[in-house]
Amino acid sequence: MVKILGNDVWRAGQKIGWVEGYFVKDRDGKKIGYFRDRFVYDVNDRKIAYIEGDYLISQGSGSEAKINLDKVAENVEGGVLSELAKCAVYVLLGD
């Protein structure tokens, strides 16, 4: 589980990254991805996830995983980030 405090992302008491505008950065400040419209992209501009209805569809290794948005909310607590921003944090920095 990760916690959002402001734009910072924390896990187990350590800052693991933050959200800056539409970009998600790791603890070293390196951009690891971004989000736009209903899509999450990696740093190489590949679409890796998107929101469809009540689900986050995560794409990778030739398969898709459907995750209920309630599960995303359970795993990304706090903050005032948009649902899409929380999904990006979940995909890019989550467990």
What confidence tens digit (pLDDT) does each residue in 36-53 have?
A: 999 999 999 999 999 999
What pLDDT shows up at residue 25?
Answer: 98
Burial 18-31 (b: 16+ CB within 10 A, else e): bbeeeebbeeeeee
Structural domain spans, the chain: 2-93
User: Does the pLDDT value for residue 59 go beyond 90?
Assistant: no
Q: Which residue has the higher pLDDT, 82 or 59?
A: 82
**Mean pLDDT score of the chain, rounded to an integer?**
95
Residues 6+ apart with CB under 8 A from 88: 19, 24, 33, 34, 35, 40, 49
User: Does the pLDDT value for residue 29 go beyond 70?
Assistant: yes
Helix intervals (H) in the chain: 69-75, 83-93
Asked whether the beta carbons of 26 and 93 are under 8 A apart, the reply is yes
Asked whether the beta carbons of 22 and 37 are under 8 A apart, the reply is no
